[in-house]
Amino acid sequence: MKTLSLIAQKGGTGKTTLAIHLAVQAQRDGLEVLLVDTDPQGSAGAWWQRRGAEEPALVQGSGTEMAGILAAAGARGFELVIVDTAPHSSEQSHACARASDAVLIPTRPAILDLDAIGATTALVADLSVPAEIVLNACPPPTRAQEPRIVAEAREALSAYAVPVCPVAVSHRVAYSHALIDGRAVVELEAKGKAAAEIDALWRTLRERVAL
Ligand SMILES: Nc1ncnc2c1ncn2[C@@H]1O[C@H](COP(=O)(O)OP(=O)(O)OP(=O)(O)O)[C@@H](O)[C@H]1O
Ligand SMILES: [Mg+2]
């Protein structure tokens, strides 16, 4: 069993959106997936309630309960655990990251988000857990070329020890539309651009983290 945590000290960077989408994608890929909602706001839990389906499975808990949650998940035969975390809670995020096999740090490409990322990369600096930054809610590429703001964000992020994922996730209304009724973008529009990006992100993570 492997565990992937999504952490970012800044709010609204896409932790929940990406945790949900990666969970659905991994499940479609044939894995037994458990989504763990450790955010007291319970956004992933609310999505799961709206979804009304058994899969991917979801439990709520806290970062400090992670050892017990993971032991129970292993005993139940889950192959992948994806942990959604709360913003502004370094202790809880650190506990989740420490218990994980890999950490994904979503950030928007805007300067205020990039300025804030040091607080998150510092959380994983003392851990031997591989981490990767993913740019989320980016302007969509034009003719397969990355927009300037995305290229600039990559350059700014090269100052940190944490690598940046080659796949950037675009800002697309499909994400909010899908989440409204408990779906993921691939279930809304299987051949859409958002679904293709999530598939690319999942395949990249799967390889890098040997998920
Ligand atoms: N790629 C995207 N395209 C369009 N909208 C997005 C995208 N990613 C996130 N959003 C929207 O941005 C908002 C914040 O996203 P989300 O809740 O996933 O962030 P978060 O990091 O989990 O926030 P919090 O820190 O409050 O838990 C939501 O309304 C979500 O629908
Ligand atoms: Mg969230």
**Is the pTM here over 0.75, yes or no?**
yes
Q: Would you kindly state where each structural domain of the chain is located, as residue ranges? A: 2-208
Distance (angstroms) between ligand 1 centre and the Cα of 76 equals: 30
pLDDT at position 210: 67
Q: How far apart are CA 31 and CA 73, in angstroms?
A: 13
Which residue lies with its CA nearest to atom 10 of ligand 1? 14
| Host H or E run for residue 138 | none
Q: How far apart are CA 37 and CA 58, in angstroms?
A: 7
39 within ligand 1 shell (Cβ under 6 A): yes
> Residues 158, 168: contact at Cβ < 8 Å?
no
Percentage of the chain with pLDDT > 90? 95
In testing the pocket of ligand 1, which one of 150, 175, 180, 197 has its CB within 8 Å of the most ligand atoms? Answer: 175
Tokens found for residue 93 = 């995020």
17 within ligand 1 shell (Cβ under 6 A): yes
pLDDT digits (tens, 9 = 90+) for 52-107: 999 999 999 999 999 999 999 999 999 999 999 999 999 999 999 999 999 999 99
Tokens found for residue 25 = 């994608």
172 within ligand 1 shell (Cβ under 6 A): yes
pLDDT digits (tens, 9 = 90+) for 140-181: 999 878 999 999 999 999 999 999 999 999 999 999 999 999
CA dihedral sign of residues 59, 91, 127, 114: positive
CATH superfamily of 2-208: P-loop containing nucleotide triphosphate hydrolases (3.40.50.300)
Query: 37-67 burial, b if ≥16 CB within 10 A, otherwise e?
Result: bbbeebbbbebbeebeeeebbbbbbbbebbe
